Copies of this chain bind each other. A is one copy, B any other.
Amino acid sequence: MGNSTIDTESSGADRTGVWLVGAYGNVATSAIVGACAVADGVLDTTGMVTERPPCTELELPSVEGFVFGGHDIRETTILTQAKKMAQDGTPNPAIVEAVADELEAIDQAVERGTAINCGNAVDTLADETVDGDLTGIIDEIQADLRSFRDRHALDRVVLVNLASTEPTLEGTEQYATLERFETALEANDPALPASSLYAYAALDAGYPYINFTPSTGGSLGGLAELAEQNGVPHMGRDAKTGETLIKTALGPMFAARNLDVLSWEGHNILGNTDGKVLDDEENKAGKLASKGDVLDSILGETFHNRVRIDYTPSLGDRKTAWDYIHFRGFFETEMKMQFTWEGSDSALAAPLVLDLVRLIAHADKHGLAGTQPHLASFFKSPADVDEHDLSKQFAMLSEYVDRYADDSVEQSPPRKPPAGEWL
């Protein structure tokens, strides 16, 4: 991994480029450290969905074949970030030590990114960013990706958005077609956020795209059109790692038993950079929307449904949620369920990044374009999927596996040349 000798020689196995936007953030750092440690055999794959049935029946690109690169707006190194995280215990210091050399090599492939139109809370994190004309920014992103691909002779590059949550974009109707989107691009529309520029850059160039965050990313109509036109798979948004995951596992039980949920209160406290950015009301709005909506879909919209997110620095990478569910059963009897969930954000999110890269790469190899509904279980707001019931989402993944398991991998159908022609 990251070792160029092996890289060029491993002709048989797929070599998958993993390009992380927000490469120095906690989730990206954890994903990189974890992938290196798994590849080196010093860490097991607990927490990776693709390492248990049904996904083990698919011929997925191996984590050992991952090559990492990315963009960030901070001046630091992955090793520095990993060591900072290790002080809180996740990843643990011995693991970071074991893969330190590989982390240093990856820094060569981290480029200066853009945080244009991401709100004040994100701006304060930035050391240096790419600015200027939107089309110029996109050109620069694509040049970085192309250079990365060529340098490492990669079969395929997956772009994953892991950058801090942006403020919600209003008026998405203005970007509902590719034409409108490109008109906005050329007019240097001051509302178009960085995450959508990255999505455009990836989809335009034919790279599979994952939006792990609540930011706008590839969710605009114009970008969906671009993905279909270029035959590129993409999926998002807002990875489902903790409280919302539980909601989508528990909510269907209340529904199926015909219990009447009166109120579902969720109070989240968290302490990492994610928490600090979300402490800004503007950036929090998007997150709250995707967290809250899942229950409405499962239980109907007639109950009191509140989600709070607060920043509690002492928790570090830990996220704690308290949920209080007030419901009514037969005889109008009022009852309650409460839970607290104390998770490590990085330990929960990092393996899902690796899973999604493997699965979207698999879809790409099989020529699947557009949104990938079988990945719904990974997201709070799964694109083009109305189903939020976790078990039904898992069933969608199982069906995908049934379809592709045991097949010798077919050649993917011819793909339209990407707009930039530079591949």
Which residues of A approach B to under 8 Å, CB–CB? 30, 34, 37, 43-49, 51-52, 89-92, 95, 245-246, 249-250, 252-253, 255-260, 262-263, 265, 267, 269, 303-304, 306, 308, 310, 312-315, 320, 322, 324, 326, 328-344, 346-348, 350-351, 377, 389-392, 394-395
- Residue of B249, B336, B338 near A253 (CB, 8 A) is B249
What B residues does A47 contact at CB under 8 A? 257-259, 329-330
Q: How far is the CA of A389 from the CA of B343 in the complex (A)?
A: 23
What B residues does A340 contact at CB under 8 A? 324, 336-340
Q: How far is the CA of A398 from the CA of B391 in the complex (A)?
A: 14
A256 touching B394, Cβ below 8 Å: yes
What B residues does A328 contact at CB under 8 A? 46
- Work out how many copies of this chain go into the complex: 4
Known: A263-B315, A335-B348. 9 other contacts (CB 8 A): A43-B332, A89-B89, A246-B253, A256-B390, A306-B310, A329-B343, A329-B344, A329-B347, A337-B339
Which chain B residue lies CB-closest to A259?
B47
Interface of A: prevailing SS: mixed
- Residue of B250, B258, B308, B333 near A48 (CB, 8 A) is B258
A336 touching B342, Cβ below 8 Å: yes
B46 touching A258, Cβ below 8 Å: yes
A335 touching B347, Cβ below 8 Å: yes
B43 touching A331, Cβ below 8 Å: yes
Which chain B residue lies CB-closest to A86?
B331
**Nearest 4 Cβ contacts at the A-B interface:** A391-B391, A47-B330, A333-B347, A262-B314
- Residue of B37, B90, B269, B392 near A265 (CB, 8 A) is B269
A337 touching B331, Cβ below 8 Å: no
Q: Assuming the A-B contacts A89-B333, A343-B335, A347-B329, are A304 and B308 also in contact, with contact meaning beta carbons closer than 8 angstroms in the complex?
A: no
B342 touching A339, Cβ below 8 Å: no
Which chain B residue lies CB-closest to A348?
B329
A341 to chain B, nearest CB (A): 5
